[in-house]
């Protein structure tokens, strides 16, 4: 499995995204449709650009190829010059193909991914400016994008409140989302890893307490997803992909924090999340997307499969007696290799396929959410863990 994953990374995912580099206007082209047609004048999502900056920076840290650091710098420069708002601060939601503000919404989730990218880019490049920019976004989130109860969602350009259409789904409008809290947590973990700052550590510990007390539902062995301001769940929804992703991201953070009280608090929770996903979402070959009000969405989404491998490998590494988790990771990789990877020339992975592996036509190969963050990270994590199946 490891040899196949390494080949997928170095022979498919990396070259594909290198090929979408925009040398005229900077960053990466923002759209490739299902028929593999690139639109060079498509909107460029700032989340897409942040994630690609992270992907190439992490690629350099993992593979030690200077060309990957140069690719990361290319996207970092675009981020710095075009995605940041020099008037009000923070990162836009999207810019035009040539770098002008397009959607000026300031979403907490988006700021978090910029911190994530800047922290890893700093680790790869040692450019102090990147860490300074990450610090500016950390301060912005903590002063303008939260209240006493926790992290809020969306704001207008000047940080007056905005409705949260961008991260509200399934027919609800959420004041808080598990997804935003999770990725603020992920970003702060990386920022703390490279900076060692006590104030960032304090926020990470606060978020872990929130996960344990308000996000995790011990009766249902899952996380809740969408909330009102007081953390009342708005919908009966089990997101298998987010639960398996959360489990390994929390385990990673507790290792970095290295505080015994958080191992004691979080280890039983992450173990419970993984076991429940294994029992309810995994069919022996792949992972369903979610279960809403008792009805399972059997679509197989690219990022859910990638995070399932991360989560099951992590859980097996923590507890080698759970060999079924290793077998699950092997089976999901076989499913990905056979069905989720788009084997057409000059493509990457399908957005989604049916449970039987047949592709669902129409979804783009590249768009503001479709990028190498999840599948690239799966490759890096598998190679780092060196668990050969």
Assess whether pLDDT exceeds 70 at residue 389: no
Q: Once rounded to an integer, what is the mean pLDDT over residues 98-105?
A: 97
pLDDT in tens, 297-346: 999 999 999 999 999 999 999 999 999 999 999 999 999 999 999 999 99
pLDDT in tens, 37-63: 999 999 999 999 999 999 999 999 999
- Domain-wise residue ranges, the chain: 2-385
pLDDT band at 167 (very low <50, low <70, confident <90, very high): confident
pLDDT at 226: 96
Does pTM surpass 0.85?
yes
Q: Once rounded to an integer, what is the mean pLDDT over residues 165-169?
A: 73
Q: What percent of the chain has pLDDT over 70?
A: 99
List, in sequence order, every residue forming a beta bridge with 32; answer none if it has no partner: 38, 366
Would you give the DSSP letter of residue 349? Answer: B
pLDDT in tens, 173-193: 899 999 999 999 999 999 999
Assess whether pLDDT exceeds 90 at residue 2: no
pLDDT band at 96 (very low <50, low <70, confident <90, very high): very high
pLDDT at 14: 98
**Burial, 76: exposed, middle or buried (Cβ in 10 Å; 0-12, 13-18, 19+)?**
buried
- Could you tell me which of 374, 361, 224, 365 has the C-alpha nearest to residue 287? 374
Distance between first and last Cα of the chain = 6
pLDDT in tens, 139-151: 999 999 999 999 9
Pairing of β 154-155 and β 176-177: unpaired
- Could you tell me which of 333, 293, 291, 292 has the C-alpha nearest to residue 312? 333
Q: What percent of the chain has pLDDT over 90?
A: 95
pLDDT at 120: 98
Q: Once rounded to an integer, what is the mean pLDDT over residues 3-14?
A: 97
Cβ contacts of 190-198, under 8 Å, gap ≥ 24: 190/115, 190/116, 190/119, 190/120, 191/115, 191/116, 191/119, 191/134, 191/138, 192/256, 192/257, 193/119, 193/123, 193/256, 194/119, 194/120, 194/122, 194/123, 194/131, 195/119, 195/131, 195/134, 195/135
Cα of 154 vs its chain's centroid, Å? 18
The domain defined by 2-385 folds into: Glycosyltransferase (1.50.10)
Q: What sections of 229-386 are H helices per DSSP?
A: 240-257, 260-280, 302-318, 323-335, 373-385
C-beta of residue 179 within 8 angstroms of C-beta of residue 246: no
- 247 or 168: which carries more pLDDT confidence? 247
């Amino acid at each position: 499995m490891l040899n196949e994953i390494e080949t997928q990374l170095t022979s498919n995912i990396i070259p594909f995204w290198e090929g979408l580099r925009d040398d005229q206007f900077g960053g990466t082209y923002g759209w490739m449709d299902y028929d593999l047609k690139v639109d060079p004048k498509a909107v460029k999502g700032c989340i897409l650009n942040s994630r690609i900056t992270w992907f190439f920076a992490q690629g350099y840290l993992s593979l030690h190829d200077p060309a990957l650091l140069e690719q990361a710098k290319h996207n970092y420069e675009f981020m710095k010059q075009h995605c940041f708002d020099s008037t009000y601060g923070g990162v836009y939601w999207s810019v035009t193909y040539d770098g002008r503000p397009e959607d000026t919404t300031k979403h907490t989730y988006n700021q978090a991914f910029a911190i994530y990218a800047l922290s890893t880019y700093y680790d790869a490049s040692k450019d102090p400016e990147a860490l300074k920019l990450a610090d500016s976004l950390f301060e912005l989130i903590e002063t303008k994008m939260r209240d006493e109860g926790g992290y809020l969602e969306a704001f207008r350009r000047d940080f007056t409140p905005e409705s949260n259409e961008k991260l509200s789904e399934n027919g609800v409008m959420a004041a808080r989302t598990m997804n935003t809290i999770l990725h603020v947590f992920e970003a702060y973990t990386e920022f703390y890893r490279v900076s060692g700052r006590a104030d960032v550590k304090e926020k990470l510990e606060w978020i872990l307490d929130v996960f344990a007390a308000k996000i995790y539902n011990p009766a249902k062995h899952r996380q809740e997803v969408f909330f009102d301001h007081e953390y009342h769940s708005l919908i009966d929804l089990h997101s298998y992909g987010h639960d398996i992703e959360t489990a390994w991201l929390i385990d990673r953070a507790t290792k970095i924090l290295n505080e015994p009280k958080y191992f004691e608090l979080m280890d039983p929770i992450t173990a419970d999340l993984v076991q429940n996903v294994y029992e309810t979402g995994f069919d022996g070959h792949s992972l369903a997307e979610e279960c809403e009000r008792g009805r399972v969405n059997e679509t197989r989404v690219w990022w859910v499969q990638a995070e399932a491998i991360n989560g099951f490998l992590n859980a097996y590494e923590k507890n080698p007696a759970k060999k079924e988790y290793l077998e699950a990771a092997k089976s999901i990789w076989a499913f990905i290799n056979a069905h989720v990877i788009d084997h057409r020339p000059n493509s990457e992975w399908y957005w989604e396929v049916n449970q039987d592996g047949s592709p669902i036509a129409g979804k783009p190969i590249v768009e503001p959410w479709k990028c190498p963050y999840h599948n690239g990270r799966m490759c890096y994590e598998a190679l780092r863990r060196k668990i050969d199946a």
